[in-house]
Structure 1
Amino acid sequence: MTDSGTKRRGGGPLTPDVRISKALSYTLRHGAEKEGLKLRSDGYANVSELLAMNKFKSLGLTFPELKRLVAENDKQRYKLIPLSSIDDSDDTLSANVEGGEEDAAKYLIRANQGHSITISSEALELELLVPGSADFPQQIIHGTFYAFYPLIVASGGLKRMGRTHIHLSPLAAYREFNSRADPSGSAPNESDHRRPARGGKNKQQEALSGMRRDAEVVFIIDARRAAEHGGCKFWRSANGVILTEGNADGVLGMDYVERVEDRRGLGVLWEGGKVVKELPVGLKNRMPPRGKEFVVRGSRGGGNAGKGKKPKGKGELEKEEVRIDAGDV
């Protein structure tokens, strides 16, 4: 796993803001220990220590720029708070970086979700959602890609694997998101299977916390049944993502998936435990977004490609695929 690239999926260069955001995501979600950044048990890092890291120095990140990026992030992935606003009696981070920016040492930052670093749901201060309460979402969705959809079904459901949580969104928020993307309310043309755009002038309106913008299919899940009968607890993060650790095995099983829908006009693909409509061959063989292709192909794009390592077996591919798909939002 790497922290950032230099090109966007369309092949053009990443903007400085996107490069910094990718680097922040990797450090705060996955790489802090490896990179030598100390995290509290609740996932917070001292901002002055983060800014002192060579990777962020090389990106030219300053405290004012960090504050702007956190405030403007389309999915509100990060939380920035004054050190004085929390109780440090039993979990402190010293601000001992010489030459740091004066105010940065008085602030903490963390990722709101998406960690592979072990942090409990309680430590992340997530809101526990109680079945039957007014704010419990009856139906939730998980977005993924054509290449991954059959593997998830075959493996028995969504899995958090190396991540702390499976990421989801309320179905109502997803429907609203789609209506904003297409105010006419008309369904996409069935022959148009271009990926939904990730760019745009108003990213606040185009982002849906808990789902990638370019997701090609969605799993629609009965959250109440999964909670009451499937051993799943559901939480809401500060930026509105619905999270679950799954059952005791880290799985949100297919028993609680009502249906799987295509986002580009093919309609329902899977429902009631069986395939309703087969994907066209061209979509079955479609490569996932750049950075994920090695998971399906094993010998192209990333991962072990070109490094002389033995390709993964089928079972290993399914496990690796679900792990990456479940958390990359």
Structure 2
Amino acid sequence: MKQQNDVKHISKIISYWLRHKPQEAGIELDEFGWASLPQVLGALANRGLTMTVEELHTLNHATDKVRWEIDQANQKIRATHGHSVSVVLLEKPTIPPAVLYHGTAVPTVISILEEGLWPMRRQFVHLSSTPDMALQVGRRHGKAVLFEIATAALVQEGWLFYHTSDNVWLTTAVPAHYLTLIS
């Protein structure tokens, strides 16, 4: 496998292509967000970044947040969450834990308290199963703060949740009155 900084760089490139800009790599996504695995590996090779399918599997499981789903039998790959391009979710709604978490940076706190959580440039709001994971996400944009989401109450109100990987949950939005700022 590549050096650690190369691995992180490759992970970010693949995620970017599969979530936001497949055309920049000459990759085509089907309506469900699947891309040809050979196309993705070829796009990497065109940029001087060679990987095997085995290395791609290892890279995908190198963190506690799985970013892609690989269908080796059909030679396909897709991002599990975070899309700004329109894709059809195959996952069925799932009942989430009674509480989920959302980490964000300090400058967004006031707007979230007033307006709730919205997907912004993505299709869904991303929530975490653990406070630590949510804070890790929030730190990507500066000093992190943590919101607790009363998901049990949202489910009772008819909101749908999708479980995409071990720690990531999706929903369309979270109104402000279901949020509690906890740190």
Aligned to 2:73: 83
1:58 paired with 2:59, answer no
Instruction: Could you list the structure 1 runs, at least 4 aligned residues long, displaced by more than 6 angstroms after superposition.
Output: none
1:165 paired with 2:124, answer yes
Is the 2:82–2:123 contact (alpha carbons within 8 Å) kept by the matching residues of 1? yes
1:261 paired with 2:145, answer no
The structure 2 residue matched to 1:128, chosen from 93, 97, 120, is 93
From the CA coordinates, give the structure whose radius of gyration is larger: 1
Secondary structure of the residue aligned to 1:212 is: helix
Within 2, Cα distance between the matches of 1:66 and 1:59?
A: 15
Q: What amino acid sits opposite 2:107 in the alignment? A: A
Structure 2 alignment gaps of length 5 or more? none
The structure 1 residue matched to 2:33, chosen from 33, 43, 63, is 43
Secondary structure of the residue aligned to 1:39 is: coil
Q: Deviation string for 1:201-253 (max 9, x for gaps)?
A: xxxxxxx3795162611111111222222x5211111333111012xxxxx11
Secondary structure of the residue aligned to 1:163 is: coil
| 1:165–1:235 distance in 2 versus 1, CA, 3 Å | same
| 1:20–1:83 distance in 2 versus 1, CA, 3 Å | same
1:216 paired with 2:181, answer no
Within 2, Cα distance between the matches of 1:234 and 1:211?
A: 21
Alpha-carbon shift at residue 74 of structure 1 (Å): 3.6
Aligned to 2:101: 141
Within 2, Cα distance between the matches of 1:244 and 1:82?
A: 28
Is the 2:105–2:138 contact (alpha carbons within 8 Å) kept by the matching residues of 1? no
Please report the TM-score for the alignment, with normalisation by the length of structure 1.
Answer: 0.49
Mapping 1:230-309, distance limit 5 Å? 231-246=158-173, 252-257=174-179, 259-262=180-183
Within 2, Cα distance between the matches of 1:129 and 1:74?
A: 20
Aligned residues: 176
Within 2, Cα distance between the matches of 1:109 and 1:45?
A: 5
**What is the root-mean-square deviation of aligned Cα atoms in Å?**
2.3
Structure with more contact order per residue of length (Cα contacts < 8 Å, sep ≥ 6):
2
Q: Deviation string for 1:51-71 (max 9, x for gaps)?
A: 222x54324222243232123
Higher helix share: 2
| 1:20–1:62 distance in 2 versus 1, CA, 3 Å | same
| 1:219–1:118 distance in 2 versus 1, CA, 3 Å | same
Please report the TM-score for the alignment, with normalisation by the length of structure 2.
Answer: 0.84
Structure 1 alignment gaps of length 5 or more? 1-13, 85-106, 131-135, 178-207, 247-251, 263-329
| 1:152–1:213 distance in 2 versus 1, CA, 3 Å | closer
1:23 paired with 2:5, answer no
Is the 2:118–2:125 contact (alpha carbons within 8 Å) kept by the matching residues of 1? yes
Secondary structure of the residue aligned to 1:168 is: strand
Aligned to 1:193: none
